[in-house]
Structure 1
Amino acid sequence: MHKSNSTIHIRKIMAKGGFVLAILALVAVHSLAGDPSPVQDFCVADLNSEIFVNGLPCKNPKLATPDDFFFSGLDKPGNTNNKVGSNVTLVNVARLPGLNTFGISIARLDYAPYGLNPPHTHPRGTEVLTVIEGTLLVGFISSSPNNKLFLKTLHPGDVFTFPVGLIHFQFNAGDSPAVAIAGLSSQNPGLIVIADALFDSNPPIPDDVLEKALQVDKEIIEALKAQYKV
């Protein structure tokens, strides 16, 4: 059976009598493995609690019901009658309290013909997207200094993944509606739409900052910000 380099290294330490060091090495290896698993069967989120923790507090497990683990509605198309022609129906812990501590969520994405899910990021979750209907042009951009674009055309049954925190998008390249289902590796992956963050922040980013960052005139910045005042 194959043994990891970490295990072999720990055994070498123990062979030298460094028992305490071996224990510390085990702790270090475990700390690199990611978030710890839940220590109970479930932790249904108490959405009404005023306690603030990294996640959501649990309600009494004796009060849990099947509805805490249930959501209905992903069979229904979302409203794509908007400026970008897309809609995301996200089922995260706020809509499905039983997801609390499980580190997952799911979403339905609907696209009108030539609709766009604009460039955005999920700061806390990797996304895996499966196309159900239509044709999507999808892509993500690696971090600086490369800023490499990974672009792919997807058809029904195709799967593509967007790494956590990286800017990505989906565009309906066809003249008929498109539908996709996405899984995300967080109960609350978060969303930062790049254009919204730049031109519709509260309070607004100073024009001088945006002019310098984007290397455009003030008139262009004002025109872009005006799109959010309609």
Structure 2
Amino acid sequence: MINIGRNGIQIDQDPNSCPVCNHLVSPNRTEIFKEINTENSNWSRYLEGLYECPSLKCGHLFLAHFERKSKNKGTIDGYFTYTHSTPNHFKPVEFDERIATISPSFVEIFNQSTNAEQAGLSEVCGMGYRKALEFLIKDYCVSSQVNDAEKIRKMMLMQCINQYITDTNTKACATRAVWLGNDETHYQRKWKDRDIGDLKLLINLVIHWVVSSLMTQEYMQSMQRT
């Protein structure tokens, strides 16, 4: 815990990156912190602090946002946890050109979800990652099964995986990504020991195996024995 020297307020951590230049840094903490009162009460649920990026190429000021650890107004404690920083100058995630070619919608949806996550919208970004996964898998299947394109687009995602994904590694990772993705859209979670980090990791594994498959096909087609 870090005591910011103001009314006994403590924070769990300083930001570890600058939202303007998107670099990992140890920002300079200023003395400017403000508690945000909600519902016209004296109880502040949020805290904002002003920081400065130490990079000579950036040097921008930005706000770090914190939320009170206690959720009960009757509890007196000045412990706040870091949630996100603003302004959010989002830097899009870059993907292999093969992925961008077969599923530009996946790239767009995934980046919008990442932008939401970095803006602290943790309750909605998981649903976006789940949607991005569906576009990736279905577009990949359509690219290899053109005659079944309309059928694939209308299928349930797990049905599509079971019927059209033949590679063992791709199927295993895609299946588990769907499990976690569905958790992000349902009222109750089945995989309580997993989170969005695991979902993103599985999506990246699916990307890895899809790219490997596409590269293999490219070499097989371009290097024929004569």
Common fold by TM > 0.5: no
> Relative contact order: is structure 1 or structure 2 higher (C-alpha 8 Å, sep ≥ 6)?
1
The structure with the greater share of residues assigned to strand is 1
Q: TM-score, normalised by structure 2?
A: 0.28
The structure with the greater share of residues assigned to helix is 2
